[in-house]
Amino acid sequence: MSIKAKIAAGAATLTIVGGGLGMAGTLTASAATPSCSTDCGQLFSQKYETHYVVDVYQAKARAGQPVILFQTSNSDPAEDLTFSGLGSVDSFYRSHRHLVSPQFDHAFGGEEAFEIEYAPYGLNSNFCLSTPGQTARADDNITLQSCGATAGSIFAADSEHSVRDFRSEGNEDVPLVSGATTQFSNPLVLNYPAGNPTDMPRPVLNVQQENTYSNGTVFDNQEWGYRQGVIK
CATH, residue 184: 2.80.10.50
Structural domain includes residue 103: yes
Q: Helices in the chain by DSSP H: which ranges? A: 89-95, 102-108
Structural domain includes residue 160: yes
**∠ CA 47-49-51, rounded to 5°:** 120
* More confident site: 155 or 34: 155
Q: What string of DSSP letters covers 1-41?
A: ---PPPPGGG--EEEEETTEEEEE----S--SSTTTGGG-E
List the domain range (segments joined by +) for residue 108: 8-228
- Please write the tens of the pLDDT for every residue from 157-190: 999 999 999 988 889 999 999 999 999 999 999 9
Distances from the Cα of 81 to the Cα of 65, 93, 134, 144, angstroms:
14, 24, 22, 12
Structural domain includes residue 54: yes
Q: Helices in 70-227 by DSSP H: which ranges? A: 89-95, 102-108
- Please write the tens of the pLDDT for every residue from 55-85: 999 999 999 999 999 999 888 999 999 999 9
Residues β-bridged to residue 214: none
pLDDT, position 141: 98
* More confident site: 39 or 231: 39
Structural domain includes residue 94: yes
Examine residue 193 and say whether the peptide bond preceding it is cis (omega within 30 degrees of 0).
no
Structural domain includes residue 3: no
Mean of pLDDT values over 116-128: 94
Q: Residue 216, Cβ neighbours under 10 Å: how many?
A: 8
- Identify the CA nearest to 231 among candidates 79, 105, 96: 79
Structural domain includes residue 2: no
Q: Is 48 exposed, middle or buried (0-12, 13-18, 19+ CB in 10 A)?
A: middle
CB-based contacts of 187, cutoff 8 Å, min separation 6:
107, 108, 158, 177, 178, 181, 209, 210
Per the structure, the count of domains in the chain is: 1
pLDDT, position 5: 37
Residue 101 sits at φ, ψ, to 5 deg, of -85, 160
